[in-house]
């Protein structure tokens, strides 16, 4: 009798382990499918901005070369050829990669951040301060990042990182067509989708901002192409 009970126990144990593994397999597959769906959504959204950017630069050879590269090779290319972008007036189109035309999407990212649940908290930064801060950065040598201290947003220089917000000097220079001395940029925190080098899409805190010209508001976020951040 004891032997029979022991055999039944082993059968039950094996069955439970099998069911658990199957459940883990299904969960992993579901997670993978959701990640791919979100990634497709992000890339589809970015492709619209990329299309506008390409229209802006027209048939510029530098950007045609860049866009034709696989994603994994673009960072190395920019390290070697970034100065060509900064010497080329077509860099003034880079803002197209960052501009968020879907107001509802932008507001959803911002409102999702715990700091903005009740009221959106903006951190103002003078355009002249940003220009002066980036004046000694050579092209893509460093990116501009941010730190917060109470109600103040501070600028910092950093190498490109997948783990925090960073914008390039060429991107800020491309905004000069919308800004003049004394204008303010309105930064805020947001929870945005981020594509990692592995291809995984996560939702993480990033810094986004607005430019306000009278009644017109332009909204900008990070791009998912590191070399154009």
pLDDT in tens, 28-63: 555 455 545 544 555 555 566 666 666 666 656 776
pLDDT at 115: 97
Q: Is 142 in contact with 158 (CB distance < 8 Å)?
A: yes
Query: Binning pLDDT at 50, 70 and 90, where does residue 182 land?
Result: very high
63-72, 92-101, 165-174, 189-198: least confident range: 63-72
> In this predicted structure, what is the pLDDT of residue 36?
53
Q: Tell me what pLDDT residue 69 has.
A: 78
Phi, psi of 95 (to 5 degrees): -55, -25
* 137 SS3 class: coil
Are 224 and 206 contacting, i.e. CB atoms less than 8 angstroms apart? no
* Higher-scoring residue by pLDDT: 142, 201: 142
Mean pLDDT of all residues in 200-211? 90
Quote the mean pLDDT of the chain: 78
pLDDT: is 2 or 113 the higher one? 113
Instruction: Say how far apart CA 18 and CA 12 lie, in whole Å.
Output: 10
State the alpha helices, DSSP H only, in 68-165: 71-87, 95-98, 103-112, 127-134
Looking up tokens 């960073």 gives 166
pTM of this structure: 0.75
- Supply 77's token pair: 């290319």
Look-up of token digits 């004394």: 182
Percentage with pLDDT > 70 across the chain: 67
Q: Tens digits of per-residue pLDDT, 120-134?
A: 999 999 999 999 999
Looking at 20-24, 85-89, 193-197, which range is the least confident one?
Answer: 20-24
For residues 99, 102, 108 and 109, what is the CA-based torsion angle, rounded to 10 degrees? Answer: -20
């Amino acid at each position: 009798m004891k032997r029979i009970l022991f055999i039944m126990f082993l059968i039950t144990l094996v069955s439970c382990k099998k069911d658990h593994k199957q459940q883990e397999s299904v969960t992993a597959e579901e997670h993978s499918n959701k990640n791919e769906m979100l990634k497709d959504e992000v890339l589809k959204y970015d492709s619209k901005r990329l299309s506008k950017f390409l229209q802006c630069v027209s048939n510029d050879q530098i950007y045609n070369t860049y866009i034709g590269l696989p994603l994994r090779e673009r960072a190395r290319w920019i390290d070697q050829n970034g100065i060509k972008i900064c010497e080329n007036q077509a860099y003034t189109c880079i803002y197209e990669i960052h501009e968020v035309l879907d107001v509802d999407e932008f507001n959803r990212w911002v409102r999702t951040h715990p700091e903005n649940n009740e009221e959106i908290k903006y951190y103002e930064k003078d355009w002249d301060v940003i220009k002066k801060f980036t004046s000694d950065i050579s092209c893509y040598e460093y990116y501009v990042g941010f730190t917060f201290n109470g109600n103040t947003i501070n600028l910092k220089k950093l190498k490109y990182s997948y783990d925090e917000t960073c914008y390039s000097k060429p991107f800020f220079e491309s905004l000069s067509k919308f800004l003049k001395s004394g204008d303010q940029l309105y930064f805020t925190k947001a929870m945005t989708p981020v594509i990692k080098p592995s291809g995984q899409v996560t939702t993480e805190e990033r810094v986004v901002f607005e430019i306000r010209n009278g009644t017109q508001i332009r909204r900008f976020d990070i791009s998912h192409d590191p070399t154009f951040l």
